[in-house]
């Protein structure tokens, strides 16, 4: 089911939670709403669900496929909902929790008890909880409870699944597992999903497209790869990962900052360049184009890469470089070692210089 939001805005009293927003979600897409706390993600999700109504002015519209659902009650929107805190019925078994929505359907459309049993078993099989069907929520781990929530949300065969920080309360490993899992279910059952997260990694890993929000505005909507590589503005760039800053002044094609120099093809004037950690190469001798002396202050192997913290007199804040294990060994990196940084690539947002606050 495709979802189209046209001119959806929201105020709470006089404070604005959402500027007028337009968003087109394709049938079968898995969309992540990503942004810092207070950016309006949950408000947008709740408006899609019908748990919250949008402002009357401007008169926005919400379409599910060709159906205008703007004024439809949440119950009539055919939505599955998963919240951060599992919201399971504590006095019911796993089986009964999943079956609940089906058992309270109007008699006319309610499946027979045999059909309900079969459907619940199939769902529990999909979420790999068949063996725990007779347990109560208190007898399950957080991850298992969240899988029950998911099965329960899917029992009514929603065309749209909405998830509000679904894995927020779980530890890193379980989160990781459930993410893969949600992706798998989504692909198998082919519904449209929208989930809220403030975790960049989660959004980038799970989504077909990510909607990046700040201050009630949509900053960019793109695939994870495009967002990471070609952010359209500084906020998106800084929000999506670690950033190194290089500020200086350019004269005759050379940017100077203290005793650091970098050849750049830019006009004369003040300049600020931004680099991702993987865009910083470490070498033993400066090159003709880059003379950026740095000292290694910390080294931490993280998964497939080694994170190296770098300091220098010409730097305000330390830089972070990620290097492959092979390079780490070849360079024999140790704390206190003096090296040179070479930018492989850099980014700039000349119209959006950082404010003193954001640099701190
Ligand atoms: P978080 O990640 O912290 O949940 P969010 O991006 O989901 O944040 P929202 O919960 O959508 O942000 O909130 C957006 C803005 O609207 C915030 O400034 C918040 O304080 C305000 N807000 C949200 N719900 C209400 C409400 N019921 N009454 C008044 N203000 C609200």
Domain ranges in the chain? Answer: 3-239, 242-343
Residue nearest to atom 31 of ligand 1 (CA): 12
For residue 358, is pLDDT > 80?
Answer: no
For residue 304, is pLDDT > 70?
Answer: yes
- Contact criterion met (CB below 8 Å) for 219 and 236: yes
For residue 356, is pLDDT > 50?
Answer: no
Query: What is the pLDDT, as a whole number, of residue 45?
Result: 96
The Å distance, Cα 312 to ligand 1 centre, comes to 41
Query: What is the pLDDT, as a whole number, of residue 5?
Result: 97
The Å distance, Cα 43 to ligand 1 centre, comes to 6
pLDDT tier for residue 359 given thresholds of 50, 70 and 90: very low
Average confidence (pLDDT) over 186-198: 91
Query: What is the pLDDT, as a whole number, of residue 77?
Result: 87
For ligand 1, which residues put their CB under 6 angstroms from it? 12, 17, 35, 37-43, 198
The Å distance, Cα 54 to ligand 1 centre, comes to 14
Residue nearest to atom 21 of ligand 1 (CA): 17
Residue % of the chain over a pLDDT of 70: 97
The Å distance, Cα 242 to ligand 1 centre, comes to 26
Does the bond joining 189 to the residue before it have cis omega, within 30 degrees of 0?
no
- Contact criterion met (CB below 8 Å) for 165 and 81: no
Average confidence (pLDDT) over 28-34: 96
Average confidence (pLDDT) over 327-343: 94
pLDDT digits (tens, 9 = 90+) for 62-98: 999 999 999 998 888 889 998 877 679 999 999 999 9
Residue nearest to atom 15 of ligand 1 (CA): 17
- Contact criterion met (CB below 8 Å) for 241 and 200: yes
- What is the model's pTM? 0.85
Q: Which CATH class is domain 242-343?
A: mainly beta
ipTM of the complex: 0.95
Give the tokens for residue 266. Answer: 């830019």
Three-state SS at 98 = helix
Query: What is the pLDDT, as a whole number, of residue 166?
Result: 87
For residue 157, is pLDDT > 50?
Answer: yes
Query: What is the pLDDT, as a whole number, of residue 132?
Result: 95
Give the tokens for residue 221. Answer: 């909507």
pLDDT digits (tens, 9 = 90+) for 235-278: 999 999 899 999 999 999 999 999 999 999 999 999 999 999 99
Average confidence (pLDDT) over 301-328: 93
Query: What is the pLDDT, as a whole number, of residue 354?
Result: 53
Average confidence (pLDDT) over 214-221: 96
Q: Please give the Cα distance from 268 to 266 (Å, whole number).
A: 7
Average confidence (pLDDT) over 334-345: 96
- Contact criterion met (CB below 8 Å) for 358 and 248: no
Residue nearest to atom 14 of ligand 1 (CA): 40
Q: Topology of domain 3-239, per CATH?
A: Rossmann fold (3.40.50)
Q: Please give the Cα distance from 225 to 205 (Å, whole number).
A: 10
- Contact criterion met (CB below 8 Å) for 146 and 82: yes
Q: Please give the Cα distance from 147 to 304 (Å, whole number).
A: 30
pLDDT digits (tens, 9 = 90+) for 90-124: 999 999 999 998 998 888 888 899 999 999 999 99
Query: What is the pLDDT, as a whole number, of residue 357?
Result: 40
User: Are both 3-239 and 242-343 of the same fold?
Assistant: no
For residue 335, is pLDDT > 80?
Answer: yes
Query: What is the pLDDT, as a whole number, of residue 360?
Result: 31
């Amino acid at each position: 089911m495709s979802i189209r939001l046209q001119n959806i805005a929201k105020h709470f009293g006089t404070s604005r939670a959402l500027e007028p927003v337009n968003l087109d979600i394709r049938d079968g897409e898995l969309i992540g709403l990503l942004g810092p706390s207070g950016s309006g993600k949950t408000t947008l999700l709740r408006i899609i669900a019908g748990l919250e109504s949008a402002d009357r002015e401007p008169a926005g519209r919400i379409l599910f496929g060709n159906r205008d659902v703007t004024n439809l009650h949440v119950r009539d929107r055919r939505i599955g909902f998963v919240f951060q805190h599992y919201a399971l019925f504590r006095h019911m078994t796993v089986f009964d929790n999943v079956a609940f929505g089906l058992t309270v359907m109007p008699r006319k459309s309610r499946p027979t008890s045999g059909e309900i049993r079969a459907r619940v078993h199939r769902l529990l099989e999909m979420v790999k909880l068949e063996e725990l069907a007779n347990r109560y929520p208190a007898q399950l781990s957080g991850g298992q409870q969240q899988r029950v929530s998911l099965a329960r949300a899917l029992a009514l065969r929603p065309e749209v699944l909405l998830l509000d920080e679904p894995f927020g309360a779980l530890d890193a490993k379980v989160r990781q597992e459930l993410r893969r899992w949600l992706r798998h279910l989504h692909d198998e059952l082919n519904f449209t999903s929208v989930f809220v997260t403030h975790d960049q990694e989660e959004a980038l890993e799970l989504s077909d497209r990510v909607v990046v929000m700040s201050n009630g505005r949509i900053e960019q909507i793109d695939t994870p790869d495009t967002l990471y590589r070609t952010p359209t503005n500084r906020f998106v760039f800084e929000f999506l990962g670690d950033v190194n800053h290089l500020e200086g002044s350019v004269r005759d094609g050379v940017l100077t900052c203290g005793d650091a120099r970098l050849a750049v093809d830019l006009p004369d004037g003040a300049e600020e360049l931004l680099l991702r950690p993987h865009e910083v190469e470490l070498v033993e001798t400066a090159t003709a184009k880059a003379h950026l002396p740095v000292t290694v202050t910390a080294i931490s192997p993280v998964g497939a890469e080694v994170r190296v913290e770098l300091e220098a007199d010409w730097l305000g804040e330390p830089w972070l470089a990620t290097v492959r294990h092979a390079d780490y060994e070849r360079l024999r990196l140790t704390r206190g070692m003096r090296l040179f940084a070479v930018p492989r690539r850099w980014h700039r947002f000349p119209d959006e210089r950082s404010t003193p606050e954001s640099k701190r």
